[in-house]
Amino acid sequence: MRVVTGLLIVAVATVVAVGGLVMVQSLVSTERRKQHNDVAGFIYAVLGVSYAVLFTVAALDYPFKGDVRIHPAAFEQVLERFHESKLSDL
């Protein structure tokens, strides 16, 4: 029963996503959609990286305790390198 329910949820989500795509393509001109590609790509990239970081920290289950742990100095080192790089000036 769980497999059938899962497949049904995935099928409904797919139909909704494809329906939304078809609706947007019919209601919004191609030229107008082209204007927003750069911003949308950046937003998807930020969301993807945020999800990856959140998933990694959640998978560790308490990154500063337990058998596998990340010392806070590692995070401090990443932050220092970011501030030293040219990316922090953007």
Residues 90, 60: one domain?
yes
Task: Give the per-residue pLDDT at 22.
Answer: 95
Residues 16, 45: one domain?
no
Find where tokens 């010392």 sit.
71
What mean pLDDT value characterizes the chain? 83
Q: Residue 57: pLDDT above 80?
A: no
CA–CA distance, 33 with 65 (Å, rounded to integer): 47
Q: Which structural domain range is residue 85 located in?
A: 36-90
List phi, psi (to 5°) of 70.
-110, 125
Q: Does 88 or 60 have the greater pLDDT score?
A: 60
Task: Give the per-residue pLDDT at 87.
Answer: 67
Length of the chain: 90
Q: Where does the pLDDT of residue 39 fall: very low under 50, low under 70, confident under 90, or very high at 90 and above?
A: confident
Residues 87, 44: one domain?
yes
Find where tokens 């500063």 sit.
64
Tally of domains within the chain: 2
Find where tokens 């099928």 sit.
11
